[in-house]
Chains A and B, each alone.
Chain A
Amino acid sequence: MRRIEFWKQRLIGFLFPPESDNWLALLRFGLGLQVILYSLSIRKDWACLLAGKGGLISRNLSETVIALESSLIPRVGWIVALGGHFGLSEESILSIIWYSLVTACCLLLLGLFSRAAAIATWFLHLAAVKSADLFSYGMDNLTTIGLFYLMLSPLPDRRSLDWQRRKSRPQHRDLLGFWRRVLQTQMCLIYFFSGIAKCLGPGWWNGINLWRALTRPPFDLISADTLVRFKYLLPIAGVAVWTLEIGYPFFVWHRRLRRPWLIAVLLMHVGIGITMGMYLFASIMIVLNLAAFGPGILWHQRQVADDGTAARKSLAPSPNN
């Protein structure tokens, strides 16, 4: 019984460590910036990707497929139908959605009405992604994951304007620790499964897959003539990629290795962004990594003084202890 109690306390200590809100400020600011960049990147094609009629692919097709899975998944069609009751055209509503999304992101950046802004950003982004599901890829899911956790985390953080306006508001440091643990666990699972899936493919052992990834349109920013000069490095780089990914959930907790490991992973994403032109994918991974593990590993974080809300001290290995 004593042993069970010991492990229970250890688990609680791991899940609810007293934590500062530096990571949350980073997540809020990073995701705000990320979704602004996402919105700007498809500004000219926004209507084309989301139109019911007159676009590339009718939004209704994606929405019908999504509705078959569940009718409660947010979609742009809901907002278009609502706007229709007020006599607004689809084109106007799509513009309003775009401006609303950017406005919500600006509020997130400032930390003004943080919770409402986080919910609005999550909802509008998710609706846009689901309604253009046929055009969506991994970056969209990762952004949804980040926004989902941000929305549920104990906002506002100290660096937000909300905090400046209401200084007396208490912070739930154990909850801050919990949601950081959730994000950290999510990142560990993402890398672990991504690495395992890669190492199953023989092409990730002999460099073929890395060659194909870098020469495959539209990711062929580096000419094949240049790339072929480094072909002997490709097998090493390919193995390094999945080794970094599989090793992430283990070594990011290791006192000595967590810093070099995290830096290596961040550099890998910078490399993906530069060499493959996947700037938004690179930036969302960098934002999520920095928020999850940056404070305490990449830069010193002041130890949090227990203010009574954090009932339990962390017993588990943590970037802060």
Chain B
Amino acid sequence: MAFFAAHFFFVGVVSCRELFWFLSQGRTIFPHSFNSYWAKAEDLGSSILLQNPGAPTTLRKSVTTYVHLAGVESGYGFFAPNVPGTCKLVFELHYPDGRTESRVPGVSSNASGLRVATLLDKIGRPEYDSLREVIIKMLASAVRREHSDATMIRAVFGVVMLPTAEEFQHGVRESSEFLYSYDFDFQPVGPKQPNP
């Protein structure tokens, strides 16, 4: 019975914390003036889960380990509260003879394609700001392995904006919004030059 109480306490707090995070981001049916209160509630959830820096390390790591082992480390807000635009990454391969061609990160199956789409959506989020460049560079290197004569790869990262049903009926189609681009020079091996 203690297991039941403790386990579902964690599940409940993790889920509430995610719910408060959604609310604190705005774009819900609640007024924006409430956002700061939701952010405080989210912080409280983190504190209860011992995720704040002041929590004892051993306890914090024990809780973190348990929720990961049980698969309950994240909430259940699938496609909620809003469905975002889908992120897209296109590589522009430049060859020494002046040719260019476009490639997208390639995988063999639809199931893997769904995982790559998940990755792109993740790195489009602000919390992945610090990792985005590194991940895109790794993806560019994977493309380079298949096109070893390419001397420069420009990675263009953006989000596909979808029209509403009404807009679609009036002829509006999906459009892309540019977010970031990175140039990776492979001749000689040199540092990237970000062009945000």
Instruction: Tell me if A145 and B81 are in contact (CB < 8 A).
Output: no
- Which residue of chain A lies nearest to B68 when distances are taken between CB atoms in the complex? A73
Contacts of B109 in A (CB 8 A): 41-45
Instruction: Tell me if A15 and B4 are in contact (CB < 8 A).
Output: yes
A197-B77, A212-B83, A218-B110 provided; 16 other pairs, C-beta below 8 A?
Answer: A48-B108, A61-B134, A126-B71, A134-B135, A141-B74, A148-B70, A181-B4, A182-B7, A193-B15, A193-B19, A200-B28, A202-B29, A203-B81, A208-B164, A217-B160, A218-B117
0/1 string, A34-63, CB within 8 A of B gives 1: 000000011111001100001111100100
The segment out of A78-86, A103-111, A162-170, A183-191 that lies at the interface is A183-191
Instruction: Tell me if A212 and B11 are in contact (CB < 8 A).
Output: no
- Which residue of chain A lies nearest to B11 when distances are taken between CB atoms in the complex? A189
Nearest 9 interchain pairs by C-beta: A144-B71, A201-B81, A41-B111, A197-B80, A197-B77, A44-B108, A135-B115, A212-B83, A45-B112
Task: Report the Cα distance A218→B159, complex, angstroms.
Answer: 13
Task: Report the Cα distance A144→B74, complex, angstroms.
Answer: 12
A28 CB, nearest partner CB in chain B, Å: 17
Instruction: Tell me if B168 and A224 are in contact (CB < 8 A).
Output: yes
A124 CB, nearest partner CB in chain B, Å: 14
Instruction: Tell me if A57 and B119 are in contact (CB < 8 A).
Output: yes
Hey, which bits of chain B sit against chain A, CB under 8 A? 1, 4, 7-8, 11-12, 15-16, 18-19, 22-23, 27-30, 61, 64-65, 68-83, 85-86, 105, 107-119, 122-123, 131, 134-135, 138-139, 142, 145, 160, 162, 164-166, 168-169
Instruction: Tell me if A200 and B30 are in contact (CB < 8 A).
Output: yes
A169 CB, nearest partner CB in chain B, Å: 23
